[in-house]
């Protein structure tokens, strides 16, 4: 009996040892990029999610770049991943979208954003949804939206200036969410019994966290927030179907029109996931970038001076100083766009862009096996000292004379290739218009907070609280 137990125990030990060996030494028809796969299933996930308080490249990536070079392998949330900090490889990945690579995210991300979300769809279906979104966020849609963006900024800034202090991150997120939700689904928070944005806040808190779905964890709260938000969206869809409108007034009407077509390829599940992703993407990333911009402007008086002069000049050139912003005025904001580029370069709100190899890929002597995930790492590109002098320094003037109409080898804050973010111009409109209203009419000072945290995405753990006050007019300042 003891011999049988000994053999059984030995078999288990050998099996486990073999499993660990195979995990740490994946099979490959060529030479794998150097790196470590960590422990089975867990991989190096815990180190990846470790927090840091710097603008610099996350220690997880930086340490491995020094040890292994710009392309290395690891394992995150149970999947083998090749991490690329190589600008040439990143560019190649984006250019070969749909041929050698396709958009992919770990299963945990898919659970969060939905299995039918736009990031998980490919080919004709993805192009179809992209065109739907451009109907709202394309240039023509944004031209119509510009007055509403300016009114929202002025209204909220006026309200905030009457308060002792406001948390810039929370306040701008609320402002942008309300505007976007109105354009997407005609959502009026004051008329709803349940707060839609609160569900998204719960969702955001666990979005970039260790994927442990146990009550009490951030990831569990994230999934619950998604579930509640999706339930609200489905209820709205059903109500809209029961009482259709005569005229198309928001994106929901457009979606319902598409769902009602006999030859449609759109499904209700895809439509709801699309709504969810648009609501999330439109306000969370933009409010983070705006908060960081306001913080950096407060810390860099020369940048604030340059921005203020540009926007005051726009007003001086008008026949009526009180008239609303025009599209041509928006497009003329040269220094503003330099400042936005520099802010998002430092912010690195998206720590990784995921793709999957469709077949074995050979690059610079390494082989990435078919089916492996690839994480393009924008921070490593944006903070590369060989590309950006003093990369951790806030310097909007470094973008002088550089016009960006998409992603480049050295700038990918909004993604790249055919999946370049369709909401990029919307983000720029929101930021530029808000900054215009802010610097021409208000001054501010930091009260508390403003610390940043990366886990590995950007956060303001204690907010950024500022006190706003209206600027005196020339007539008021001379009396």
Distance CA 398, CA 452 (A): 23
Cα separations in angstroms, 62 against 74, 209, 253, 388, 456: 13, 20, 47, 17, 12
Instruction: Enter the tokens of residue 46.
Output: 């815990």
Host H or E run for residue 90: helix 87-95
Neighbours of 426 (CB within 10 A): 25
Instruction: Enter the tokens of residue 62.
Output: 């930086």
Distance CA 348, CA 56 (A): 10
Nearest alpha carbon to residue 74 among 21, 30, 42, 38: 38
Place of tokens 């457009």: 254
Neighbours of 132 (CB within 10 A): 19
Distance CA 330, CA 295 (A): 22
Are 322 and 65 within 8 A, CB to CB?
no
Are 219 and 205 within 8 A, CB to CB?
no
Judge whether 192 is annotated as a binding position.
no
Are 389 and 98 within 8 A, CB to CB?
no
Distance CA 422, CA 428 (A): 12
Nearest alpha carbon to residue 395 among 434, 440, 345, 348: 345
Strand partners, 458: 454
Distance CA 8, CA 39 (A): 24
Show binding-site residues for heme. Answer: 421
Show binding-site residues. Answer: 421
């Amino acid at each position: 009996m003891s011999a049988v137990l000994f053999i059984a125990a030995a078999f288990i030990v050998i099996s486990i040892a073999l499993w660990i060996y195979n995990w740490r030494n994946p099979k490959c028809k060529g030479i794998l990029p150097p790196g470590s796969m960590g422990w089975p299933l867990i991989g190096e996930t815990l180190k990846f999610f470790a927090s840091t308080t710097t603008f610099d490249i996350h220690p997880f990536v930086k340490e491995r770049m020094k040890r292994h070079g710009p392309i290395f392998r690891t394992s995150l949330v149970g999947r083998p991943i090749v991490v690329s900090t190589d600008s040439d490889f990143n560019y190649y990945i984006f250019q070969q979208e749909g041929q050698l690579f396709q958009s992919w995210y770990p299963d945990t991300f898919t659970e969060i954003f939905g299995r039918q979300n736009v990031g998980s769809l490919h080919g004709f279906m993805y192009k179809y949804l992209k065109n739907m979104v451009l109907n709202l966020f394309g240039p023509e849609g944004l031209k119509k939206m510009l007055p509403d963006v300016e009114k929202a900024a002025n209204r909220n800034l006026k309200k905030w200036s009457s308060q002792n202090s406001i948390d810039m991150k929370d306040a701008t997120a609320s402002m942008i969410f309300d505007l976007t939700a109105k354009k997407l689904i005609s959502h009026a928070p004051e008329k709803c019994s349940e707060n839609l944005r609160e569900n998204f806040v719960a969702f955001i808190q666990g979005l970039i966290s260790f994927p442990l779905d146990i009550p009490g964890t951030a990831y569990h709260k994230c999934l619950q927030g998604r579930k509640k938000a999706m339930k609200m969206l489905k209820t709205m869809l059903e109500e809209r179907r029961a009482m259709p409108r005569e005229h198309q007034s928001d994106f929901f009407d457009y979606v319902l029109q598409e769902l009602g077509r006999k030859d449609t390829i759109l499904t209700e599940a895809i439509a709801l996931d699309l709504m969810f992703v648009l609501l999330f993407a439109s306000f969370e990333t933009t409010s983070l970038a705006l908060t960081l911009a306001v913080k950096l402007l407060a810390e860099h008086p020369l940048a604030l001076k340059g921005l203020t002069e540009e926007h005051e000049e726009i007003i001086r050139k008008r026949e009526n100083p009180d008239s609303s912003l025009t599209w041509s005025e928006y497009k003329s904001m040269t220094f503003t766009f330099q400042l936005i580029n520099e802010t998002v370069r430092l912010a690195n709100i998206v720590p990784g862009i995921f793709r999957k190899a469709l077949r074995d890929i050979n690059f610079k002597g390494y082989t990435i096996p078919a089916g492996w995930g690839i994480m393009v790492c924008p921070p490593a590109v944006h903070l590369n000292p060989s590309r950006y002098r003093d990369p951790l320094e806030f310097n909007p003037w470094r973008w002088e004379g550089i016009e960006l109409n998409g992603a480049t080898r050295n700038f990918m804050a909004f993604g790249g290739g055919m999946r370049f973010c369709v909401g990029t111009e919307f983000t720029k409109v929101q930021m530029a218009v808000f900054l215009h209203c802010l610097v021409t009419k208000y001054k501010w000072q930091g009260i508390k907070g403003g610390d940043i945290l990366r886990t590995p995405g950007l956060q303001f753990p204690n907010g950024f609280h500022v006190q706003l006050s209206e600027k005196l007019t020339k007539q008021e300042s001379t009396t």
